[in-house]
A and B are shown apart, each in its own frame.
Chain A
Amino acid sequence: MRLSLWSFEWRLLRREPLIVVLTALLVVLGAYASVTGSRFVRAQEQTIEELALEERSRLDSLRTLMARLERGESLAVSPFADPRSPAVAGRQVASRYTVLPPGPLAPLAIGQRDVQPFWALISTRTKQTFFVNDEIDNPVALLAGRIDLAFVVLVLYPLFILALTFDVVAGERERGTLGLVLSQPVAPSQVLTTKLLVRALVAVLLTVALSVAAALATGVALSDPTVLTRFALWCGMLLLYGAFWFAAALAVNARRLSSAASAVTLLGVWLVVVVILPAVSAAIISVTYPAPSRLALTTRLREATDAAAQQRQDALAAFMAEHPTYAADAGAGAPDPNVMAVALQDAAERMMAPRYAEFDAALDAQRVAADRLRLMSPALVLQGALLDLAGSGEARFRDYERQFDRFHSEWRAFFNDRLLGRQALTAQDYANIPSFTYREPTVGALVSRLLPGVLLLLVLTVALIWNARARMHRATLA
């Protein structure tokens, strides 16, 4: 019986012209979004390849030069380009690129990745000067954001569900078929639920199929188990989001509204959930947790550097106190200019330490607030989840910055230790220059980030279904 009802509803739905139009719209936009996504990712990957190529050829020629110098060939090398000098190598010539590669599902969700930097050139200099994003791009496109699959899913998928379900009861009442249906010995809740479920399921399956097609077409590495897990979670989130909209449609259908009133009600809900609440949440964040200014921080750093330079002797004295082994061997004369530079940098950094801490704390507070405010709207929950799963989210970028910081310390230690040890770099050192690889968060960490949103969607869905059940009497429907 149940199966017959399902197949009948499917038959009914198949014959509606609306489903063809909606499917075509979804497929066209999905295809467009996939092309946008894969182009964006390919452009980033191309840049990353070029960076790697440049780095390899530069380091290779340095190694060749080192080998020749070690063989004792007499070459004219400028002191500012001498690969043997740890200061020169660490500051510039042996620099490596620290890359944040596109996330595992990046072609499906670009998010803010087009405005965030995705690489930096490491150096022993202060880190604030590293992040650059000088890709040339259309500012209008940057402002509006790109149309990626996540956007299509976020905005159109609920509309698809609502278009198919908004007037299931009211439409049948207005066309007169409802009376005949409800005069049969079936619970109205069963009829209504079946009708809505079949319709919602069509939208869910289509959206999941669209995601699968997009993933395959854009070359997402589904053969990798962790990527596959992320993709499965992506599909799971789509299912949950669909369930929420199904429940919303059910709750409205269970009320005695005309189809026009149902349409207006559900469109209103869509507008609030998908447009207004996200805007409100963004406004709340920008007012209560404004993004700290990187420009101001850089200005402060410059001031600190100037201050340190004016108190050279203090800076040097502090440095010598911190590095007694180096100080013991240092003569009375003018210090090595490279060591002096490190001393000044350390002094400036010391002055800046509280500012950095403030800056990081402000960013973290903003991110925590944004994570909490996600819970304002199912659309924000989905958006956050899709970006996190795709590896295009804010959290991953902050994680990259943190890993970058650790790498920066490692880098400075590598070169400064040799500088202070008065060691020239060797070919062996060139084989061991630290390199950076971004470590993705574990699936477990991702899941725990998704959990509050998943719970919210579940609670809302259950509450809406509960609310609908209480109203699905014959008397209220017929």
Chain B
Amino acid sequence: MATSSPLLSAEGLTKRYGDTLALDALDLSIAPGEVYCLLGANGAGKSTTINCFLDFVRPDGGVAKIGGQVVAQHPLETKKRLAYIPETVMLYGNLSGLENLEYFATLATGARPATEELVAHLITAGLRDDQIRQRVGGYSKGMRQKVGIAIALAKRADVLLLDEPTSGLDPKASNEFHRLLGLLRERGAAVLMATHDLFRAKESGTRIGIMKAGRKVAELRADEIGHADLEKLYLTHMHD
């Protein structure tokens, strides 16, 4: 079952902040080519989950694993294969998109990649030729997310951690983003995406998990449920 051996997994992941349980024994398992969408209200633990995979947060119990390696024990190795796209990809405003990519690709791969290669990634990610050398200070949010995608491409990341990457994007930009996500998924990436967008979760996701107060309260395959039913299910869980 080589194909289903998970790239991303959480086993009993628990995180406590004082008296509140941010994560309560969360189990997750995401295989290559899967897009796992985490739904849930603000504070449900979606971001904390992603931060555990990034080693930004050290879990109090359980483990987060990437490619079978425990994140907290191998932070540098696990980071080599992941790409992180937060709600807004914040870049260095005084540098151009290309220069930003150059920096992050250098950090990611340990060597400075060829400029043509980086330009190609930016074009693949959907930036126009004339935008590439403009300072990022003038970039729209959509353009920043594209640089984020280009970083993932340059890094050849097979694990994507996305924290509400399309909130605040206009529908066209959001559509474009998800098209790119599909591209990465087809290349065999495992994607974990926290989102509030039920429509996109259903459209782009392969599996959907609903979180509440640090627990996973439902998990289903995206193709097994319609839009209306997903919304109903989500609201049912949010109400009680």
Q: In the assembled complex, how far is the CB of residue B162 from the closest CB belonging to chain A, in whole angstroms?
A: 12
CA distance A186 to B58 in the complex (A): 17
Residues on A with beta carbons closer than 8 Å to the beta carbon of B57:
475
In the complex, whether B91 has a CB less than 8 A from a CB of chain A is yes
Stretch among B20-28, B72-80, B191-199, B223-231 lining the A interface: B72-80
Which residues of B are found within 8 Å of A5, using beta-carbon distances? 106-107
Closest chain B CB from A198 CB (angstroms): 13
* A184-B91 CB under 8 A given contacts A1-B106, A4-B106, A475-B56: no
- B90:A179 contact, CB within 8 angstroms: yes
A474 to B108, CA, bound (A): 16
Task: Indicate if the CB atoms of A4 and B112 lie closer than 8 Å.
Answer: yes
**B81-103 CB contacts (< 8 Å) to partner A:** 82-84, 86, 88-95, 99, 102-103
What 0/1 pattern do residues 179 to 220 of A give for CB contact below 8 A with B? 111111111000100000000000000000000000000000
Given contacts A11-B99, A12-B95, contact A475 B90 (CB under 8 A): no
Residues in chain A near residue B51, CB distance under 8 A? 478
| Interface assignment of A176: CB less than 8 Å from any CB of chain B | yes
A182 in contact with B76 given A1-B110, A11-B99, A16-B94 (CB within 8 Å): no
In the complex, are the beta carbons of B55 and A180 less than 8 A apart?
no
| A475 adjacent to B58 (CB under 8 Å) | yes
Does B79 contact A179, Cβ atoms closer than 8 Å? no
Taking a contact as CB atoms under 8 Å apart, the answer to whether B111 and A1 are in contact is: yes
Contact status of A187 and B76, CB under 8 A, knowing A1-B111, A4-B106, A5-B106: yes
Closest A residue by C-beta to B99: A11
List the B side residues contacting A187 at CB < 8 Å.
Answer: 76
Contact A180–B58 (Cβ < 8 Å): no
B110 cross-chain contacts in A, Cβ below 8 A: 1, 185
Determine if B92 and A184 form an interchain contact, defined as CB atoms under 8 angstroms apart.
no
Map CB proximity to B onto A141-184 as digits: 1 under 8 Å, 0 otherwise: 00000000000000000000000000000000001110111111
B residues in contact with A186, CB < 8 Å:
76, 107
The answer on a CB contact under 8 Å between A176 and B99 is no
Q: How large is the interface on B (under 10, 10 to 19, 20 to 34, 35 or more residues)?
A: 35 or more
Q: Is B132 in the interface zone, CB < 8 Å from A?
A: no
Mask, B47-65, CB within 8 Å of A = 1, is 0000100111110000000
**B234 contacts chain A at the CB level, 8 A cutoff:** no
Interface members, chain B 186-216 (any A CB < 8 Å): none
Complex CA distance for A182 and B84, rounded to whole angstroms: 10
CA distance A139 to B112 in the complex (A): 61
The minimal Cβ–Cβ distance linking A431 to chain B, given in whole angstroms, is 74
Indicate whether B36 reaches chain A with its CB closer than 8 angstroms.
no
Min CB distance A317 to B, Å, is 90
Provide the residues of chain B in CB contact with A177, threshold 8 Å.
90-92
B94 and A12 contacting across the interface, CB-CB below 8 Å:
yes
> How far is it, in angstroms, between the C-alpha of A98 and the C-alpha of B173 when the chains are bound?
85
Inter-subunit contact A176/B90 (CB<8 Å): yes
Q: In chain A, residues 236-281, which have Cβ atoms closer than 8 Å to a Cβ of chain B?
A: none
B104 within 8 Å of A (CB atoms): yes
Q: Is the CB of A185 within 8 A of B106?
A: no
Given A5-B106, A185-B108, A478-B54, A180-B95 contact (CB < 8 Å): no
Q: Is the CB of A474 within 8 A of B99?
A: no
In the bound assembly, the distance between CA atoms of A191 and B76 in angstroms comes to 13
Residues of B within 8 A of A4 (CB): 106, 111-112
Q: Is the CB of A176 within 8 A of B86?
A: yes
- Is B106 a contact of A180 with CB atoms below 8 Å? no
Q: Report the Cα distance A11→B100, complex, angstroms.
A: 11
Whether A180 contacts B76 by the Cβ 8 Å rule is no
Chain B hits for A191, CB < 8 A: 107
Contact for A183 among B79, B88, B103, B111, CB less than 8 A = B79
Tell me the bound Cα distance from A60 to B136 in angstroms.
79
Q: Measured between alpha carbons, how far is A179 from B151 in the docked complex, in Å?
A: 14
User: B95 contacts A15, CB within 8 Å?
Assistant: yes
For B56, what are the chain A residues with a Cβ–Cβ distance below 8 Å? 179, 182, 474-475, 478
Residue picked from A4, A176, A182, A184, most chain B C-beta under 10 Å: A184
The docked-state distance in angstroms from the alpha carbon of A359 to that of B77 is 70
The residues of A that contact B82 with a CB separation of less than 8 Å are: 183
> Is A8 a contact partner of B103 (Cβ separation < 8 A)?
yes
Ordered nearest first, which 4 A-B pairs have the shortest CB separation? A176-B90, A183-B84, A184-B107, A478-B56
Chain A residues engaging chain B, CB cutoff 8 angstroms: 1, 4-5, 8, 11-12, 15-16, 175-177, 179-187, 191, 474-475, 478
Q: Can you list 11 A-B pairs with a CB-CB distance of less than 8 A? A: A1-B110, A4-B106, A15-B95, A177-B92, A183-B82, A183-B83, A183-B84, A184-B79, A184-B108, A185-B80, A474-B75
Beyond known contacts A179-B56, A180-B90, A181-B107: 17 more, CB 8 A cutoff:
A1-B111, A4-B112, A11-B95, A12-B94, A176-B88, A177-B91, A179-B86, A179-B90, A180-B151, A181-B104, A183-B83, A183-B161, A184-B104, A184-B108, A186-B107, A474-B75, A478-B51
